[in-house]
Structure 1
Amino acid sequence: MTAVEYEHPIRRVRDEIATVVDRAKDHGAITYVTRNGERVAAVVPLPVADRGTRPVDRTAVDSHGKPLRPAPSALGGRFTWDVNGPTQPEVEWTRAGLEALHAQLTTATAETVALLGIVGQALAAVSDRHLGTVQELLDSIERRFVVPEVALSEAVEVYDELNRPDDALCVTCREPISTFYGHEGWQHYRMALNKHGINATEIYQPDDEHTPEPTFVPRTRRAFADGKVVRPYDDPAAPAAEEE
């Protein structure tokens, strides 16, 4: 347990960083850094910061090592609306995705606060001209960057999956169409081997040269498992594994 908590604006913490760090080191105090009255960061005792370190493959945990929330999971697939609106499977999928996004961002935030505490100690060491201590603190940070980096990467993947548009098909031929950089309007496309033998997107003109007009069909959504997007190669049997 910490002995006491403080709350200071950023400018005051900057001017008194050595004192702030000494309070954390010697008295176990946490100093919350505020901007316009809102807490935005904290300088914490090193044992508290160390408790925030956890393996990459775990979800966000509290200071006692307990998960902040269960890792959400939901089946993927194609979801269509009925007369009452979105069906229950789509609602559950969307909620699981949002909870996964929340958990990943919580992990990134918690780890960033711990990193800020170490950087605060490094700033204090500079003020005291202890550059050797600064290097030691920087060395201790290196391994800790992994957790927020991974959490943010997985948060982006979850966000992209939640925000992907539905599939567009041509009204005339029912083949896939899309818009592409450097091309005006909708274009027919297909996957084909290029000159390097790699399966790539190919834009083509249909034989009857009809103009593509879109109609939209529900996309295949990838499943969520343990707060992450299930990739096809992770689970070939997943309902959403047919598309990337």
Structure 2
Amino acid sequence: MVNFGLHWVEKFLCWTDGSALNYLNWGISEPKNVQINDIVEFSSTAWSTTKTTTLTKLLCKKKPDKILRTCTQVLEPTCPPVTTPPPLLNFTCDNTNNFAGIQVAGGTFVDNKGYGKADIQGICPAAGGPVLYYDGKTPTIPTKDGKSAAGSIMMSGCSSLCVCDAAGKCYKSDNPSSTEITFYPHCDDSNGNSCAFYAILKGAGRLVPDSGGATATFTSANQMASSGFPFPITNSAYLKAAKLGCFGCPI
């Protein structure tokens, strides 16, 4: 091994063999008195300058036996996962569990206002109009993002609205100019065996009895709790709609 002392040459620091210095580790306030201090010594942590005549620990460099290389792992760039829309649920007209259906008389159109509009999961033919099925696994409290509702119907375009439940009890609006209804699909239990469309009212108009033995009256005010939040969708304040039409009752 060849050890090379570190010294000053014309006030510039270099190794005694003339090679350039590529590392520095000065202590606080160092280097100092470089006019008379012509070599570098070291303590346990840092360098300082001193005179050649001083008996001390000189700083030396050593040629390594082996060249050590350090490698930094280069990670592959990461990309966000590719998201795809969820597939339609496995629906068949022979098995409608977990799906809420509503029969729509021909020519009746449900708009995507109000709570928005979820995707139809299946359509089954029936006398009097097709039955539209939607996913019934929806929150018990209707959400405002509109992703679960089937859509809304404005009375201005459906002045002869008729909504009937599964027992054939039919209702109409007593104030068509101020009535909006959002139809919300929901299944009452985890097995999906008690599914229906619930009529969420907005505006001053009420759903009042028309035919088929209907007796109840439904209002938007009755669907709101005193806290200002809506009642759970399974509350009796919501009409469980099975049929919908714009051409008068009954359907």
Tell me which interval the TM-score lies in, with the shorter structure as reference length: under 0.3
Q: Which has the higher strand share?
A: 2
Higher relative contact order (CA 8 A, sep 6+): 1
Q: Which has the higher helix share?
A: 1
TM-score (norm 2): 0.22
TM-score (norm 1): 0.22
